[in-house]
Amino acid sequence: MKIIYFTILLLLLSGCQKEVITFSTKASDVFYVENAGASMRVLVEGNTASNTFILVIHGGPGAGSFVYNTNYISQNLEDKCAMVYWDQRNAGASQGSANSNNLQLSQMVDDLTKVIKVLKYRYGQNMSLFLLGHSFGGLISAAFVTRSEDQIMIKGLINVDGSHNYPLNDSLTRQMLLTFGLRQGLYSKKAQKWEKIIQYCLRHTGNFTLEESQQLETYAIKAESYVDSIDKIDLIGTVLSHSITDKSPLTSILVNLLYSEDSDFNKELLVANYSGSLSAVTIPVLVLWGKYDFICPPALGEDFFYRISSKDKKMVISPVSGHNLILQDEKLFCYEVSAFVKKYK
């Protein structure tokens, strides 16, 4: 009996790492990329036969890619191209042991380069690959595309509410909170709550510490919830509702997020700034932004848009979105991304 059991066990264990590469209109392949102490999960879902791939660089740090894999995107984007959901190191379903020393921005850019190389190794060197950076993912993609040797690996960049300059981001968040609060917040039902935010912004004027930066982000998240015009979304609910179909490792997602949010890595991010090198970007770029994004204000998107040298570039503002345009305005997101990819693939 025991021999039979262990034989089955060994077969299962050997079977679970079998290489599966699917070329179809409804592919769903999972593989891992090991680099510097982290094994990062990559899910390729959708139309791999199209030879067009969009690599999602999620926010955070540590947020994971599960939240982006919605039914709407599956039905309206994955039929045209393949979405690549990459869990960065110390995020989502990515695994490792004692690897905190490698939680650095330069390491993450190296991770991204290697994920792209593995993607091309699996699905073909001539694939049309686009990067899609959201929030913190905008910083990684900015670091990546400002290196000319890396830029040629992709056909185009989609920047959705991404942050390419953290010090500027903090200043713009403060400015937007203050301006919106004084003009509209104080005259709304949430006047008392806006008053608290305004007072904080008036007391903290610049050269922000990590604590101030985090407090501004906390107020930005709250401010978004005070604005009635925004389509509200439940990020936790979204992850939980898909947890069975997506086979999400919920506790891994949680502990990775908590660790990354609280790690010293955030001190490095406080001064991360790629504004000065954005002129090196020449590939086609699509910039999508939420009008009510207090976390990464639209002015940050404009800074990115006007600094890049790309001749083929477009910026679209969603009137009903905050920081999570991908989920808050899925129709606009899928429409614009589809059109962009179709044009430049």
Q: Interface with another protein includes 2 (CB under 8 A)?
A: yes
Q: How many CB atoms lie within 10 A of CB 261?
A: 14
By CB under 8 A, name the one of 202, 235, 240, 255 that touches another protein: 255
Compute the distance between CA of residue 185 and CA of residue 302 in angstroms, rounded to an integer. Answer: 24
Q: Interface with another protein includes 31 (CB under 8 A)?
A: yes
Compute the distance between CA of residue 327 and CA of residue 333 in angstroms, rounded to an integer. Answer: 8
By CB under 8 A, name the one of 95, 141, 163, 324 that touches another protein: 95
Within positions 310 to 339, which residues make up the interface with another protein, using CB under 8 A?
Answer: none
Residue nearer to another protein on the CB measure, 20 or 191: 20
Q: Residues 42-71 vs another protein: string with x where CB under 8 A?
A: -x----------------------------
CA separation, residue 300 to residues 76, 291, 304 (Å):
28, 12, 6
Q: Interface with another protein includes 30 (CB under 8 A)?
A: yes
Q: Residues 98-117 vs another protein: string with x where CB under 8 A?
A: xxx--x----------x--x
3-state class of 4 per DSSP?
A: helix
**Which ranges constitute the DSSP H helices of 263-329?**
265-269, 298-307, 325-328
Q: What is the DSSP letter of 18?
A: -
- Comparing CA positions, the residue from 162, 156, 154 lying closest to residue 133 is 162
Residue nearer to another protein on the CB measure, 247 or 331: 247
Taking CB under 8 A as the binding criterion, the range among 4-12, 195-203, 230-238, 266-274 that sits at the site for another protein is 4-12
Residue nearer to another protein on the CB measure, 163 or 256: 256
3-state class of 320 per DSSP?
A: coil
Q: What is the DSSP letter of 98?
A: S
Compute the distance between CA of residue 248 and CA of residue 229 in angstroms, rounded to an integer. Answer: 32
At 73, list the tokens. 């995107």
Q: Which residues pair with 54 in a beta bridge?
A: 83, 130
By CB under 8 A, name the one of 52, 94, 169, 324 that touches another protein: 94
By CB under 8 A, name the one of 88, 135, 146, 256 that touches another protein: 256
Q: Interface with another protein includes 344 (CB under 8 A)?
A: no
Residues in contact with another protein by the rule CB under 8 A:
2, 5, 9, 12-13, 16-20, 30-35, 38-39, 41, 43, 89-90, 93-100, 103, 114, 117-118, 121, 244, 247, 249, 251-252, 255-256, 258-259
